[in-house]
Amino acid sequence: MLPFTRCLPDPDISMRDIADFILDSKLGRKAICCTEIPRLPIFLRDLISIIYRLTISCHLPEFTDHGLRHLCSMVDRISLWTFKSASDDITSLCDNFDDEGQQAAILLIAVLIHDIGMLSQRPEDLPKDNIKWPGKGNMDIPTWVRKTHVLRIRHLIKRLIINSIEEDYTDIYSSPLLNRAICVAEAHEKWPWENGFVNLIGQDIGLAAVLAVSDLLDEDASRCDSVTMIEHRQGTMLNYGHWIRHSLTTNRILITEGTVNITFVRPPDTDYQMAPVYAALRNHYRLIKLYIEPLSIIGAGFLDVSFLENSIPEIICPELENWYKIPGLTTQRALVYHLLNTFFPEAVIDKRKVSSTFLTKIHDIDLEEINLKLIYNIQGDFEIRSIYEQACYAIINE
């Protein structure tokens, strides 16, 4: 008698589910109507497959999720995005895109590839004429990947499309539509007035704003399993700060009638000292208002941000009960310092690092002033301390 054997589980089933989720979304269904790129549905499926392989094989464990889970969340947020039109009717963002599917196709491809550089670590994908990041040098790998991930998008996509897919997509790589999608993806690192964003073609500026806003809002606790990461992953203090920061926003943030509602929680045994962190979080979410003008190009120029509380949240996050056992985070002062270090300079209004143009743009978005003496004291006012010295100062200066 032959031995009984069971069928092995299909390793591709999760990828297929993800592809179905993306392509069956409102954004996906609009995108596959585009006929400008031949075989677009097949190309999208293969692109999702590539990202899936990169996610499971190359994703650095120090990072929060930048793979397909993050992309599904963004596609879903865009697909569910509604706003009030000029006639006061409730309008879906995707219904505002052109009927030919071109805008939806550009945006969907841009969403899929905007963080692909976070899943790959090859320095040869940098532009040949770029001398700022010639190689990793003395920089740690996660920092190098994070700082160069947008610079590497274009060459990485070319290498993946031409070398990694069985189909011949050379014609798609040279298509104007894909080039526009790459430009929209690259713009997510820019502010709306900066080159690389403001000089996009026509309504692509609005599409870039949609991507940037959706990305800024993907900051909630579902972005990563922070508790498991803290318990089992080895990371830098910056990594720990990012993992904890995601736990502080409890609800998944959607845009409903042009409004986003946000609820925060706080770690146990923390108090008023956390105020700068929540001010920075509120500022981070308010930064989406900087994109109102470019969003108006595609008719979605209304955004409002509403917080359950505008102070220290009352709700406790029990999952973070052992935060002080993390090496380097043994005091609340250290926790605050490392959390503040995870934000854009614009979110904490660090005048040493933000442009004068930015300072002129923020008058109408109600950003809160944050006392940065803690950061400057620990980093060093004149001579910058190493990250190890900073971690030590954060602990001892309680």
Q: Is 395 or 46 the better-scoring residue by pLDDT? A: 46
Helix (H/G/I), strand (E/B), else coil: 174: coil
Distances (CA, A) of 136 to 145, 204, 374: 9, 33, 30
pLDDT of residue 196: 95
pLDDT of residue 1: 47
* The one-letter amino acid at 371: N
For 88-115, the pLDDT digits (tens) are: 778 899 998 988 999 999 999 999 999 9
pLDDT of residue 322: 87
Lowest mean pLDDT among 8-12, 56-60, 119-123: 8-12
For 73-95, the pLDDT digits (tens) are: 999 999 999 988 766 778 899 99
Say how far apart CA 237 and CA 340 lie, in whole Å. Answer: 11
Greatest mean pLDDT range, 204-213, 313-322, 349-358: 204-213
For 269-297, the pLDDT digits (tens) are: 999 989 999 999 999 999 999 999 999 99
The whole-chain average pLDDT of the chain stands at: 85
* The one-letter amino acid at 379: Q
pLDDT of residue 378: 56
pLDDT of residue 15: 85
Taking the CA atoms of 380, 339, 141 and 127 in sequence, report the sign of the dihedral they define.
negative
**Which tokens belong to 381?**
């006012």
pLDDT of residue 387: 61
Say how far apart CA 62 and CA 236 lie, in whole Å. Answer: 8
pLDDT at 396 over 80: no
pLDDT of residue 124: 87
Per-residue confidence band for 33, with pLDDT thresholds at 50, 70 and 90: very high
Task: Kindly state the percentage of the chain with pLDDT values over 90.
Answer: 46
Q: pTM of the full predicted structure?
A: 0.89
Lowest mean pLDDT among 31-40, 149-158, 267-276, 365-374: 365-374
- Would you tell me how many other CB atoms lie within 10 Å of the CB of residue 108? 29
End-to-end CA distance of the chain: 73
Q: What are phi and psi of 90, to 5 degrees?
A: -85, 120
pLDDT of residue 379: 60
pLDDT of residue 83: 87
Greatest mean pLDDT range, 49-58, 78-87, 291-300, 368-377: 291-300
Per-residue confidence band for 353, with pLDDT thresholds at 50, 70 and 90: confident
- Work out the average pLDDT over 348-375: 86
Distances (CA, A) of 156 to 66, 113, 123, 148, 363: 16, 10, 10, 12, 38
pLDDT of residue 388: 59
For 124-167, the pLDDT digits (tens) are: 888 876 645 555 556 777 778 888 999 999 999 988 887 766 67
pLDDT of residue 106: 97
pLDDT of residue 269: 93
pLDDT of residue 175: 92
| Surface-to-core class of residue 369, CB atoms within 10 Å of its CB (0-12 exposed, 13-18 middle, 19+ buried) | exposed
* The one-letter amino acid at 341: N
pLDDT of residue 316: 94
